[in-house]
A and B are shown apart, each in its own frame.
Chain A
Amino acid sequence: MRGRGFILAGLLAASTVCLAKNYGDWLKKVPTADRAQVNPYAGNPQAIAAGANLFHENCAKCHGDNAEGKHSRPNLRSAQVRNATDGDLAWILKNGVVFKGMPRWSGLPEQERWQIIAYLRSLSLQPSGGKQ
């Protein structure tokens, strides 16, 4: 009986860890060198258009068509994302926050990840279409 209790407690603890959604901590994990990376496509209109296509193909289903978050998934127009560096965003796209639900996108070529970031940056300049 005692053994079963321990197993049950272990499973509960594991599921709590798995289900916990605290997306905010990832910024602390970004190495300094990665944080300092600069987007080679920053402000490039063609890259922003390409990034928009990539975003709608790969990211919008979770983060919403207007990047405002969906089903408790993060709003990419938030102050935290706006204040993050391009390098921070590149790091999270490559590494994900896998134990909190954000998958890695390391399978996408690095250039395409930078195009997505260029698009996300362009959103900061646009008014949001709905809820904040």
Chain B
Amino acid sequence: MLFAGLHRLAERRTLHIGLLLLFSGAFLFSSLQKAEAQQEPPYFVTYSSAMEEPGNLEIENQNIVAAPKNANAFFAPTVEFEYGTTAWWTSEFYLQGQTTKNDSTVFTGFRVENRFRPLPREYWINPVIYVEYEDINKADKSFLEITGNTNIADLQVPNAELRKEVERSIEGKLILSSNAKGWNFSENIIGEKAVNENEPWEFGYALGAARPLALTAGSKPCVVCRQNIAVGAELFGGLGTRYTFGLKQTEQYFGPTVSLNAPNGWTFRFSPELGLNDNSAGILWRFGASYEIQQFRDWFRRAK
């Protein structure tokens, strides 16, 4: 049903077709495989110190649906390919698009990111360095992170206007993450600088806490059982720019989040995120599914 609905929308704007093909192809391809990984907390925006296991490829589709006040409702899917280059280095590639009711469907751009874990052991707090290049037009509504000062009224601007303005930027994050007694606590500090426009550094943050419902595994394999379900909460938003640092005219969101790590490599996540101020959209409904292909690189190696 979801695919059919998306397809009808895509027919109206050809740019979205590539995204849809990638999304469906990736999932058909991945459904032939079998794997599972339980390490990642159920966050959408916050990064923890969990890295992709070396050689694994995770294909993820995460979506956001919202109906902001005084603006058209929108649906923004992101397809994400995450590869464990080494045990201390994870690379990701994103493709993004959005469709806005009574407006149009547009491809909004791509991102390439790398995460590095500089320390060799587990400590009470574990840093990860995140570096990203993004080539995104202003029609982007993925809310993958929020930086700088934003204006919720921008959601009323037609896609045709917004997509004309492309921002290429470098983004860095300091990810701090702790694991204790089954809990994960993660804090992200974000800095972003446009490289094609004369704009100041923009800042943002994301905080998350999560825990599986059970800390021990059962002796029998199961799908919907407490050990496979993790719950948590996220708080994230902008922190202004170099000249306007603070919470004034920023978007802020908070929401519970839940994930199911199903057998056969699938993970499903869901989160309603509530806007905390007048400059935020009312509720962002997020849902996503990911599939992890374990040891993808072994496909290209000879058996020993």
Contacts and interface: CB of A to CB of B under 8 A. Distances in A.
Interface stretch (A3-11, A76-84, A91-99, A121-129): A91-99
B219 A50 contact: yes
Nearest to B51: A103
Contacts of A45: 219
B122 A94 contact: yes
B76 to A, nearest CB: 28
A95 B117 CA distance: 12
B53 A103 contact: yes
Contacts, number: 99
B294 A61 contact: yes
A18 B217 contact: no
Contacts of A100: 87
Interface string B124-147: 001000000000000000000000
Contacts of A50: 216-219
Contacts of A109: 182, 212, 215-216
A107 B304 contact: no
Interface string A39-82: 00000011101110110011001100000001110000000000
A14 to B, nearest CB: 11
Given A95-B121, A98-B117, A54 B217 contact: yes
Contacts of A110: 181-182, 215
A62 B39 contact: no
Contact of A107 (B39, B86, B294, B303): B39
Interface in B9-49: 35-41, 48-49
A108 B53 contact: no
B38 A108 contact: yes
Contacts of B303: 71
Interface of A: 18, 45-47, 49-51, 53-54, 57-58, 61-62, 70-72, 94-112, 115
Interface of B: 35-41, 48-51, 53-55, 84, 86-88, 117, 120-122, 126, 179, 181-182, 184, 212, 215-221, 227, 263, 294-295, 298, 301, 303-304
